[in-house]
Amino acid sequence: MNQSVRLWGGRFRKPPDPRMMRLSSAATAHARLVPQDLAGGRAHAAELQRAGLLSAEEYRIILAGLDGIGRDVAEAGLAPGPEDEDVHSFVERVLVARIGATGAKLRAGRSRNDQAANNLKLYLRQQARLTGMMLADLLEALAAQAQTHAGSVCPGFTHLQSAQPVTFGHWLMAHAQALSRDASRLQDWDRRASLSPLGAAALAGSAIALQPALSAEALGYAGPCENSVDAVGSRDHVAEFLFVGAMLATNLSRLAEEVTLWTSRQFGWVVLDDGFATGSSIMPQKKNPDIAEITRGRAARLTGHLMAMMGALKGLPLAYNRDLAEDKPAAFDMVDVLGEVLPAFAGLVETMQPQPEVMRAQAASGFALATEVADHLARNGVPFAEAHEITGALIRYCEEMGRELEALDIVELRAIDPRLDEGVLEVLTLDAAVAARSGHGGTAPERVREQIARYRDWLAGFRGWASEVTG
């Protein structure tokens, strides 16, 4: 490698061994960070002009040079090559080649340490909003399906055993609520990631770039980092981003698992749109929920990235260590995976066709209305512990006689216990059961519709945040 493209080497007596450089160089792998490096370069050039190291004309020439590199990267395929150690040396190499020695002045007062921290932080803050927009589309798809099926009765499960009837809209909104917390975590993360590391230089701060607050403002940050050592030596903002992504992927995986169940022949609750399913190469009848299954698999991968980053951080002394370069592969893959999974899942949810009749037919199975009997007795003054025993005896009778709970008559009820009166028959219906759960957060259809209305108000605000331009 030509020594002129490296940002170090003056004290070395021989060039680096190619084997070392193959391990150390990462310019092509990190090429997506060139726009952020250029943005940081523009902010730093302004700092150098304020410090008197650049004349107004030199500042103008450098900005024009950086803008030209940005255009050629975006439009003409300009990219780092094997001769570049990293994106910083790539930008400097091209800048010096185009504008001469003035380009080399841009290195004063900064380090690759604060550049690297800044580049990834800028990138992740932008990607957080892009991820948020894709997540918002999925959240809206869930809300739309939930609105349609706010009154569609389906089985509710605990331990994957039939428990109580709920509405399918309520069940969908349970997933939507969990995913909305992931959306809020993106916003929380962004607030904590809103301090700029520029001006920290290698670790002690810069003796030249003395107004980092102005650089921070130019790049869309809330302000500069309070401590220069922390600015370059910490990556908890990356680990937290990975956690938010892994938690989002985990919640998606839980929804994916249920979609896989719902679309099975055994459940039959949902039919997938042909555009969001695949087939079998040998079994012509198959219609597979591949989006859901791929999502489950990718969730495991993203959790692995979080664990790898935590492991890389746990034993590091301050300040910068090259171990911190593990932040980028993990963060890049997190962004890429979510960028593939979220749109596909949004399309799956938007186009899937729930089957209300099938769900309703299964909703009372497994004596799912048993709690209605116990609640009725309790409302009529029977201590609930005793009501529970009476209802248990009633279920035992049904099992022994091969009877369905809601098909019993008043004679059979009173034979179990005289307190099982005609009122029991009135509560032993699916619609009565869901309507009775009318407290805030309950499955009663009117409560579900109110929940969706509040949720959509929140979602509009989140979508507004996600659409903001940062950096």
pLDDT in tens, 340-366: 999 999 999 999 999 999 999 999 999
Q: What is the pLDDT of residue 471?
A: 52
How far is 447 from 72, CA to CA, in rounded Å? 55
Two structure tokens written together for 437: 């759960």
DSSP symbols for 375-435 = HHHHHTT--HHHHHHHHHHHHHHHHHHT--GGG--HHHHHHH-TT--THHHHH-SHHHHHH
Q: What is the pLDDT of residue 15?
A: 83
Two structure tokens written together for 110: 């900064």
**Mean pLDDT within 22-42:** 89
Count of H-run helices and E-run strands, the chain: 18, 6
In the numeric block, the tokens 């920290």 are attached to 200
Give the CATH number of domain 3-108.
Answer: 1.10.275.10
Q: Which residues contact 22 (CB under 8 A, 6 or more apart)?
A: none
How far is 354 from 171, CA to CA, in rounded Å? 12
Q: pLDDT tens for residues 282-300?
A: 988 889 999 999 999 999 9
Q: In which element (H, E) is residue 353 found?
A: strand 353-354
**Mean pLDDT within 220-230:** 98
How far is 459 from 471, CA to CA, in rounded Å? 23
Amino acid at residue number 306: L
* Average pLDDT of the chain to the nearest whole number: 95
**Mean pLDDT within 26-41:** 93
Amino acid at residue number 202: A
Alpha carbons within 13 A on the beta-carbon side of 164: 19
Q: Is the pLDDT of residue 26 over 90?
A: no
Q: pLDDT tens for residues 89-113?
A: 999 999 999 999 999 999 999 999 9
How far is 273 from 56, CA to CA, in rounded Å? 60
Task: Judge whether 338 and 124 are in contact, CB under 8 Å.
Answer: no
Q: Which has the closest alpha carbon to 350: 95, 137, 33?
A: 137
Q: Is the pLDDT of residue 54 over 60?
A: yes
Residues of the chain with CATH 1.10.275.10: 3-108
Q: What is the pLDDT of residue 5?
A: 55
Q: Which has the closest alpha carbon to 231: 331, 318, 122, 124?
A: 318
Q: pLDDT tens for residues 167-203?
A: 999 999 999 999 999 999 999 999 999 999 999 999 9
How far is 289 from 346, CA to CA, in rounded Å? 14
Residues of the chain with CATH 1.10.40.30: 362-447
DSSP symbols for 161-228 = EEEEEEEHHHHHHHHHHHHHHHHHHHHHHHHHT-EE-TT-TTTT--SS---HHHHHHHTT-SEE-S-H
Residues of the chain with CATH 1.20.200.10: 113-152+164-207+223-361+450-466
**Mean pLDDT within 59-65:** 98
Q: Is the pLDDT of residue 8 over 80?
A: no
How far is 434 from 162, CA to CA, in rounded Å? 15
Provide the greatest CA pair distance for the chain: 101
**Mean pLDDT within 85-90:** 94
Q: What is the pLDDT of residue 286?
A: 87
Q: What is the pLDDT of residue 18?
A: 76
**Mean pLDDT within 114-140:** 98
Q: Is the pLDDT of residue 312 over 90?
A: yes
Residue 448 phi/psi, 5-degree rounding, is -65, -45
Q: Is the pLDDT of residue 2 over 50?
A: no
**Band of pLDDT at residue 145, cut at 50, 70 and 90:** very high
Residues with catalytic function: 159, 280
Cis omega (within 30 of 0) for bond into 319? yes
Among 18-27, 74-83, 149-158, 426-435, the range scoring the smallest mean pLDDT is 18-27
Q: Kindly report the number of other CB atoms within 10 A of residue 170's CB atom.
A: 27
Reduce the DSSP state of residue 277 to 3 states and report it. Answer: coil
CATH fold, domain 113-152+164-207+223-361+450-466, is Fumarase C; Chain A, domain 2 (1.20.200)
DSSP symbols for 208-222 = S---HHHHHHHTT-S
**Mean pLDDT within 48-69:** 98
The pTM score is 0.93
Q: pLDDT tens for residues 396-429?
A: 999 999 999 999 999 999 999 999 999 999 999 9
Task: Judge whether 253 and 182 are in contact, CB under 8 Å.
Answer: no
Q: Is the pLDDT of residue 9 over 80?
A: no
- Of 469 and 401, the one with more pLDDT: 401
How far is 364 from 162, CA to CA, in rounded Å? 8
Task: Judge whether 30 and 85 are in contact, CB under 8 Å.
Answer: no
Angle, CA 272 vertex, CA 266 and CA 278 arms, to 5°: 95
CATH fold, domain 362-447, is Ribonucleotide Reductase Protein R1; domain 1 (1.10.40)
How far is 471 from 350, CA to CA, in rounded Å? 32
